[in-house]
Amino acid sequence: RRAEGVEILGDFPFMVTLDSADVWSRGRDFILDASVGTPPDAFSETGQEWGLPPYRWDEARKNDFEWLRMRARRSANLYDGFRVDHLVGFYRTYVRPLDGREPYFMPAEEREQRALGETVMQIMIETGADVSVEDLGTVPDFVRESIARIGVPGYKVLRWEPATPAQYPPLSVAMTGTHD
Over residues 162-178, the pLDDT tens digits come to 888 888 888 888 888 77
- Beta partners for residue 82, in sequence order: 10, 131
Closest CA to 58 of 112, 133, 139: 112
How far is it, in rounded angstroms, from Cα 121 to Cα 68? 10
pLDDT in tens, 59-110: 999 999 999 999 999 999 999 999 999 999 999 999 999 999 999 999 999 9
User: Catalytic residue positions?
Assistant: 85, 134, 180
pTM recorded for the entire structure? 0.90
Residues 6+ apart with CB under 8 A from 21: none
